[in-house]
Amino acid sequence: MKLSTKGRYALEGLFYMAIATPDRAVSIKEIATGTGISAAYLEQIFFKLKQSGIIRTVRGARGGFIFNQPLSEISVGQIIRAVEGSLVPVKCVESLSACTSRVRGTCISRQVWVELSDALARAADSITLDRLRTEWKTEQEGGMPR
């Protein structure tokens, strides 16, 4: 599976928030400056993250985006699904009717894609922003990450 820049930048933007400002609202401008990602592009991505309930907006002079749930409950899989829509490598994993192969009824490779998709989902869903933040802090303090 190949992630688009939206998936990568969503994770990078939220990771920036998790490290720099986990308990306060942060503006798109600050995230853009901190990550080097275009503010306009981040706005598109953060709109999807807001729609999914991962973050919410705070109005006012100190407004911006803030996490809508604890970092321990926000997984990489959840973030990617919010902006990419799915983690599956090929369409037939979600729906056999999406298969256009002539051997659809006897396709042996579909099981490979299903197993790979399941493994990817398990891995992505097991990694939380809290874990990434903890590992980053440990590394910054000169310790060894897990």
Mean pLDDT by runs of 10 across the 146 residues of the chain is: 86 95 90 96 97 95 92 97 85 70 70 87 96 92 66
Q: What is the pLDDT of residue 103?
A: 66
Q: What is the pLDDT of residue 74?
A: 97
Nearest to 5 by CA among 27, 36, 34: 36
Q: What is the pLDDT of residue 43?
A: 96
What SS3 class is residue 3?
Answer: coil
Report the C-alpha gap between 26 and 67 in whole angstroms: 10
Classify residue 23 by its DSSP letter.
T
DSSP per-residue string spanning 49-110: HHHTTSEEEE-STT-EEEESS-GGG-BHHHHHHHHHS---SSGGGT-GGG---TTGGG-SHH
Q: What is the pLDDT of residue 42?
A: 97
Write down all domains in the chain, each with its CATH number in brackets. 5-140 (1.10.10.10)
